[in-house]
Amino acid sequence: MRVLMLNTPVPTHFTPLVPLAWALRAAGHEVVAAVQPDVVPAALSAGLHTVPIGDPYYVDDLLGGGLPAGKRLREVRERPGPEGLAGGARVWMMHAKYLLPEHLAFARAYRPDLIVADMLEYTSLIIGGVLGVPVVHHRWGLDPISTGARDTARTTLHATCRRAGLDGLPDPAVLLDPSPDELRLPGTAPGTPIRYVTYNGPGKLPEWLYEAKPAGLRRVVVSLGTSTLELGGLPMLGNVLRGLAGLPRTETLATVPAKYRDTLGDLPDGVRLIDPVPLQPLLGTCDAVVHHGGAGTMMTATSAGLPQLVLPQIMDQFPHGDALAAAGAGIVVADAAGQDDPAAAGAAVARLLDVPEYRLRAGKLAASMGSMPSPARVAEDLATLR
């Protein structure tokens, strides 16, 4: 079977699909990722055959356009409601219009038997309809966006579909959902379960990662994502680290690329800056994690059974935090003022570490995720769609 992978041009939208690509490859199927230059490094690092399509997209430039000097994204963007979340998919609908000709031309040449894409990659549905090929959409995580955006996508892309010879925008044959039942958001369309298998990219792991921690020492990781730092989040990171510095018997590790470190200035004892490494092995040494609510980070931390403090900045990061809090496995601080308050960060993480119920609930979520069908099992089922 020939499998064509398409994706919105954001690397973190692609990496959740990599374990399924590996499973398809391991089952003997051919997999080719036809993606924009933004995603090419992620696809190559996963060992996938990759074809660059189109021009770079530069999503951080889009998010940060017009951002006032000295302000971060959370300070100028309102928390989105359901309509705002659904509206966030519009950019990918417009993106589909101009990228469709190149993607369709390659698909005609490649002749896939199956198309796999993330849930907001709309060209996949049109191409599948034109070629008569089943399309599988794979959610990144909880997905508070695509269900509400579906009717808008049908309207926005109706003329595009008609020009391609279709009556309208087709639905995916399968919608894969890695969300455990305890975190599934109300109002989202039901999907086919697939176990979330972490892929955070390759990385050179430091030797200290496997050294035993001193008895009684607790470790917290702060990982706010490169985009958060790029879009004005460094002062917030500094405040969070200062808030955690006073926690007893606690070591704080913050994943920070070297180019940002001078801006942070001197940090208190008990705080260590480290190079970004794949989160899965790092979280295996930790007791709690602080992050921005990105789907990959949230799902990785959840699969590791860790309590989480979520400091959402944009779009789906807010419902991610809300779902963890509702499940009793995390705390969310959603307002900009609270996120910049060192005392609030310290108090929240102290609660995650000191109240056993958070660890218990987080462990139950990890067990629930672990019981879902593996990508290998799902790959067997997808092979029958032809």
Q: Read off the pLDDT of residues 274-299 as tens digits, 9 standing for 90 and up.
A: 998 899 999 999 999 999 999 999 99
Burial 41-80 (b: 16+ CB within 10 A, else e): ebbebbebebeebbeebebeeebbeeeeeeebbbbebeeb
Residue 258 confidence class, pLDDT cut points 50, 70, 90: confident
Average pLDDT score over residue span 46-50: 98
Structure tokens at 353: 């570490």
* Amino acid present at 17: L
Question: What's the pLDDT at 214?
Answer: 87
Mean pLDDT value across the chain: 92
Question: What's the pLDDT at 281?
Answer: 92
pLDDT at 74 over 70: no
pLDDT at 91 over 60: yes
pLDDT at 359 over 70: yes
pTM of the full predicted structure?
0.94
What are the angstrom distances between the C-alpha of 103 and each of 31, 106, 111, 121? Answer: 16, 5, 12, 11
CATH of domain 2-195+373-382: 3.40.50.2000
% of the chain residues with pLDDT over 90: 77
| Cα–Cα distance for residue pair 291/312, rounded to 1 Å | 8
| Cα–Cα distance for residue pair 221/287, rounded to 1 Å | 8
Residue 69 confidence class, pLDDT cut points 50, 70, 90: low
| Cα–Cα distance for residue pair 219/288, rounded to 1 Å | 7
| Cα–Cα distance for residue pair 137/120, rounded to 1 Å | 8
Question: What's the pLDDT at 61?
Answer: 65
> Superfamily for 207-370?
Glycogen Phosphorylase B; (3.40.50.2000)
Domain range list for the chain? 2-195+373-382, 207-370
Question: What's the pLDDT at 14?
Answer: 97
Residue 66 confidence class, pLDDT cut points 50, 70, 90: low
Is there a common fold for 2-195+373-382 and 207-370? yes
* 3-state SS track over the chain: CEEEEECCCCHHHHHHHHHHHHHHHHCCCEEEEEECCCCHHHHHHCCCEEEECCCCCCHHHHHHCCCCCCCCHHHHCCCCCHHHHHHCCHHHHHHHHHHHHHHHHHHHHHCCCEEEEECCCCHHHHHHHHHCCCEEEECCCCCCCHHHHHHHHHHHCHHHHHHCCCCCCCCCCEEEECCCHHHCCCCCCCCEECCCCCCCCCCCCCHHHHCCCCCCCEEEEEECCHHHHHHHHHHHHHHHHHHHCCCCCEEEEEECCHHHHHHHCCCCCCEEEECCCCHHHHHCCCCEEEECCCHHHHHHHHHCCCCEEECCCCCCHHHHHHHHHHCCCEEECCCHHHHCCHHHHHHHHHHHHHCHHHHHHHHHHHHHHHCCCCHHHHHHHHCCCC
